[in-house]
Amino acid sequence: MRLGNSTGQTVGDALKGLVSRLEKSSETTTLDAQVLTAFIMNKPRSWLLAHPEEQLDGIQFAALENALVRLNNGEPLPYILGQWEFFNMDFNLTSDVLIPRPETELLVEHAITWLNRPAEGEREKRMIDVGTGSGCIAIALAAHLPSISITATDLSPAALEVARGNAVKHHVSGRIQFQEADLFPGPGRLENYDLIVSNPPYIPTSSLQQSPSLRREPVLALDGGPDGLATSRRILMEGSRRLARGGALLIEIEASSGAVMLALASDVYPKASIRLHQDLAGRDRLLEILT
């Protein structure tokens, strides 16, 4: 179905039509309609709201129609736009990488707090982002903390290509070393890190199979095995050998796995300070381990 007649189509009319057509494919119809229209018109969202009487030209109208078809076919809006905002920064995206979520900003906030704490000595801190995807975590930290050395790994060469491009876009490519690796760099690079961060795949396989919308994103970045904890367990175990004394490990978790992750972490790090942090919805979202 079309948005309407392209002749004389105003911004206000287009937004109303989009909201109506997106009701079956989005939980944030108004926001998605505004973001999409602003992107196609190359205007801020605030401009759209202030100029509902402005008219779309034929090219803009056709672009909206095409995007609407893709949305109604289940393609996520960030992939259609080719970019998405995270931590007040725009990141380029392809379907090879996970779409950055607002809840992951909690990890970045706590990483910044930990890295900014008073500490003895002035040496450069070493950090690794395990499973970097689009690079949003590592790049956000590099942009806000110029005195840290960052390694970012991913098993997907395509994801690393996206991450490298984002690092260039945000002028931090010289400060992040991207490596293709299954979690941590190989046996030849057994260095310790002051901070380990990760947003690993943590959705149980059965839950992923029952969610058509999630299956539009790379399975490698989502599937956490039968109980959702397969990758997290590996990070906890290997992290115990890679974490420098007095270091920290921050790992994003699935909201219902908080108690289990606390128990697992306590087994692996019996002398550490371990706690859970909640996201804005009050759900367990971040496991913090301080050694």
For each of the domains in the chain, give its residue range(s) and CATH number, in order of start.
Answer: 11-74 (1.10.8.10), 86-290 (3.40.50.150)
Give tens-digit pLDDT for 159-210. Answer: 999 999 999 999 999 999 999 999 999 765 667 999 999 999 999 999 988 8
For residue 150, the surrounding DSSP H or E stretch is strand 148-154
Give tens-digit pLDDT for 15-50. Answer: 998 888 888 767 788 988 999 999 999 999 999 999
Mean pLDDT across the stretch 86-95?
97
**Of 194, 251, 244, 248, which is closest to residue 228 (Cα–Cα)?**
251
Cα–Cα distance for residue pair 153/151, rounded to 1 Å: 7
Of the chain, the percentage scoring pLDDT greater than 90 comes to: 78
Cα–Cα distance for residue pair 33/45, rounded to 1 Å: 10
Give tens-digit pLDDT for 143-159. Answer: 999 889 999 999 999 99
**Of 144, 231, 229, 149, which is closest to residue 184 (Cα–Cα)?**
231
Phi, psi of 223 (to 5 degrees): -75, 110
pTM: 0.91
Place of tokens 């697992």: 264
pLDDT at residue 21 in the model: 80
Mean pLDDT across the stretch 126-147?
96
Beta pairing partners, 83: 92
Long-range contacts at 203-206 (CB < 8 A, ≥ 24 apart): 203/228, 203/254, 204/228
**Of 200, 196, 178, which is closest to residue 125 (Cα–Cα)?**
196
For 210, residues 6+ apart whose C-beta sits below 8 A from its C-beta are none
Dihedral of the CA atoms 86, 146, 161, 101 (nearest 10)? Answer: -20
Q: Do the beta carbons of residue 128 and residue 244 sit within 8 Å? A: no
Quote the longest CA-to-CA distance of the chain: 69
Cα–Cα distance for residue pair 155/179, rounded to 1 Å: 9
Question: Which pair of tokens denotes residue 203?
Answer: 């959705």
Question: Which pair of tokens denotes residue 91?
Answer: 């990141």
pLDDT band at 276 (very low <50, low <70, confident <90, very high): very high
Instruction: Answer yes or no: is pLDDT of 120 > 70.
Output: no
Strands 273-278 and 148-154: unpaired
pLDDT at residue 211 in the model: 82
pLDDT at residue 1 in the model: 41
Weakest mean pLDDT among 16-30, 70-84, 85-99: 16-30
Cα–Cα distance for residue pair 277/60, rounded to 1 Å: 43
Cα–Cα distance for residue pair 4/2, rounded to 1 Å: 5
